[in-house]
Amino acid sequence: MTHSRAAREDRQQGLSRLGVTALVLLVLAGCGDGRSAASSRQHSSEREYRVAADQNATAQQIIDAGGPVRVAASADRTLVAWRAESDDDEGPQQAAWRLYDERGGRIAEGTLGQVREQSAIPTLTAVADGFLIDNYAGHRLRHVAVDGAISNVTISRGVRPTQSGDVLVESQGGERLRFYHPADQTAYSLPKLPFGNPQGKVLDGRGRLWVLLVWSKREAKVASAAGGAGPWQRTTVPLQEGGLPTGIHAAAGGVFVPTAHGKGMYPRIDGLWQHSTNGTPSDPWSRLPITGVNLEKTLQPLVEALPDGRLVLIGESGVVWVQGADGTFIRATVPGQGVNGLPEVAGSRLFLSFTRDHQLYVSDNDGQSWRVFAR
């Protein structure tokens, strides 16, 4: 993808500091138990600061004092990362993870280390054999099995083509882009790409690598290759005059390129182009109808999918649109209208990390109602 969730959250934090309001307990009327649970738990900033500064803080202490920052789901398991931070951008911070079963029962937990900067945000990725934690300290890639066992992922210096089931892991510190191979729980480097300055890369479920190349006013080029090793097949995403692609995403048996028009910081997202990964790589791109979809203050939307193949469009300002059975998109009503929150799709559920009250909200019905996810 052309951006990471960590970058998205940095943008969220910047916006929230400019617009902090009295939305701490603003939850839609359909939340039911979510409202009482949120009201009964009082977050203490002083307690969170003390825990963040304690190098010996346990996972339980970090989770109790901090707030949610990441969610991932695999089969009937949900992995959540929680963070305790100081009141200083350069002060101590640390995160912990906790694995839950399908009923919310606790399976396992652990800490992820302390740093003195706003970077204690791990990336969580669901994989075929559990989860990956792309950590911010210590050993970079860690694996959490469905039974909660955690281990370091071997990071190979070798280069190999990707296969079905492999997952890209985000590069850090100028490293070459790597992918995780579940068969041997090892991360390998991708083959060297024959393109200069690609604008984005995604790996589909069959192990085919898709690369968004530079674009002109009328078209964007996308190259793809099985295993990321060639031969490369180029296709064209047609752009209307003045349009531009905002990224490339893989989800639900397809690759997607959103396009936008307009000037200023937040252009209007007005196109969503799809290329099926089940057809021929040379097939043309098709444009999905997104009439009426408004992602508001969004520069780079996320395109994700539910298990039944329906798409979810997520804006940077906490806006969520869910595709219905007829193909049209319906806006979800999220707690606090999404202000100061980061929505995510994990399995068949929607989650919202609500930074103002340090709660994690979950919806089991496409955002029609929400409840607090118990720690």
> In this predicted model, what pLDDT tens digit does every residue of 228-256 receive, in sequence order?
998 999 999 998 766 889 999 999 889 99
Name beta bridge partners: 270. Answer: none
Instruction: Report how far residue 150's alpha carbon sits from residue 132's, in angstroms, rounded to the nearest whole number.
Output: 10
pLDDT at residue 143 in the model: 97
What's the one-letter identity of residue 310?
A: R
What's the one-letter identity of residue 186?
A: T
Average pLDDT of the residues in 106-131 = 93
Instruction: Report how far residue 375's alpha carbon sits from residue 370's, in angstroms, rounded to the nearest whole number.
Output: 15
* Of the listed ranges 37-41, 56-60, 93-97, the one predicted with least confidence: 37-41
Q: If we measure between CA atoms, which residue out of 366, 369, 365, 362 comes closest to residue 68?
A: 362
The most confident of the ranges 7-11, 141-145, 190-194, 261-265 is: 141-145
* Of the listed ranges 23-37, 120-134, 155-169, 178-192, the one predicted with least confidence: 23-37
The whole-model pTM stands at 0.86
Query: Which residues, 6+ apart, have CB-to-CB distance to 98 below 8 Å?
Result: 59, 63, 79, 80, 82, 106, 108, 109, 375
pLDDT at residue 176 in the model: 65
Residue 134 CB neighbour total at 10 angstroms: 22
Instruction: Report how far residue 220's alpha carbon sits from residue 239's, in angstroms, rounded to the nearest whole number.
Output: 7
> In this predicted model, what pLDDT tens digit does every residue of 354-369 receive, in sequence order?
877 899 999 999 999 9
pLDDT at residue 330 in the model: 95
pLDDT at residue 88 in the model: 87
Determine the distance from the C-alpha atom of residue 195 to the mean position of all C-alpha atoms in its chain, rounded to a whole number.
Answer: 26
Determine the distance from the C-alpha atom of residue 240 to the mean position of all C-alpha atoms in its chain, rounded to a whole number.
Answer: 29
**Backbone CA torsion sign across 292, 242, 251, 99:** negative
> In this predicted model, what pLDDT tens digit does every residue of 81-115 receive, in sequence order?
999 999 888 899 999 999 999 999 999 999 999 99
Instruction: Report how far residue 260's alpha carbon sits from residue 245's, in angstroms, rounded to the nearest whole number.
Output: 6
Instruction: Report how far residue 323's alpha carbon sits from residue 193's, in angstroms, rounded to the nearest whole number.
Output: 34
Instruction: State the chain's mean pLDDT as an integer.
Output: 85
* DSSP one-letter string for 204-253: -TTSEEEEEEEE-SSEEEEEEEETTSS--EEEEEE--TT-EE---EEETT
Q: If we measure between CA atoms, which residue out of 123, 187, 139, 133 comes closest to residue 159?
A: 187
Q: Are 122 and 97 in contact (CB under 8 A)?
A: yes
Q: How many residues does the chain have?
A: 375
